[in-house]
Amino acid sequence: MSDAYLAAIAVRRSNYAITNKSSVPDEKLEAIVKKAVLHSPTSFNIQSSRAVLVTGAANTKLWNLIAASNSKGLEGEAKVAAEAKTAHFAGGYGSVLFFEDQAVIEAITAKIPVYTKQFPVWSTNAAGILHANVWTAFTLEGLGATLQHNGAYSDELVADIQKAFGLPSTWTSTAILPFGDPAAPPAEKSFGPIEERVKVFKA
């Protein structure tokens, strides 16, 4: 029964070779993101994870903001490299932005203060589960995608993104998944011995 799921997670890869096309219609992309947000678990079922799907001109707007932020203060080769990186993702079809709503984290922390230290950790764990679910679903649809944390998304950039898309200021960025139809398969991936990473003890 788990074979299909395990085969799906093995298909998910980082594919940087994305185009500005999508063979998957926007409605289907939206349905995938909604289902992934709905079914990805959160601690105490607080449902703190948020996602924003941008395509077309909205995607260009996003990556222009990131480009401006990432190349700020840079000069020469460093500026050229930063600009090339953002231009690459701007050349994709769309992006999914992931956030955690800090208002939800604060509310649950006030309710159960004994877990004050754990809630932020569990929030990022929940974010990671959601990232993987959308990333895997998009890959199964034949899209190429990567998980990006460009320049760790400065507070200033996140504020610019919140303003540009009318998002609450309590939504803090956890990652961005730029995607598009793939121009090439993902690069080869190597794996260390699984025996060193998984231990099994029997009675």
Chain positions contacting ligand FMN, by CB under 6 A: 13-14, 128, 146-149, 186, 189
CB of 73 to ligand FMN, least distance (A): 20
Q: Smallest gap, in angstroms, from Cβ of residue 166 to ligand FMN?
A: 25
In the bound state with ligand FMN, the residue whose beta carbon lies nearer, of 28 and 149, is: 149
DSSP state of 182: B
The least distance separating ligand FMN from the CB of residue 82, rounded to whole angstroms, comes to: 14
* Contact assessment for residue 36 and residue 134, using Cβ atoms and an 8 Å cutoff: yes
Please give the angle made by the CA atoms of 49, 55 and 58, to the nearest 5 degrees.
90
Give the helix/strand (H/E) hosting 191.
none
Q: Is there a contact between 46 and 111 (Cβ–Cβ < 8 Å)?
A: no
63-72: long-range contacts, CB 8 A cutoff, minimum separation 24: 63/87, 63/89, 63/90, 63/95, 63/178, 64/90, 65/157, 65/160, 65/161, 65/164, 66/150, 66/151, 66/153, 66/157, 66/176, 69/151, 69/154, 69/156, 69/157, 69/160, 70/150, 70/151
Query: Closer CB to ligand FMN, residue 35 or residue 149?
Result: 149
Q: Which is nearer to ligand FMN, 2 or 190 (CB)?
A: 190
Q: Which is nearer to ligand FMN, 52 or 127 (CB)?
A: 127
Question: Position 72: which residue type?
Answer: K
Instruction: Please state the closest distance from residue 8 (CB atom) to ligand FMN, in A.
Output: 13
Residue with Cβ nearer ligand FMN (37 or 186) = 186
CB of 183 to ligand FMN, least distance (A): 16
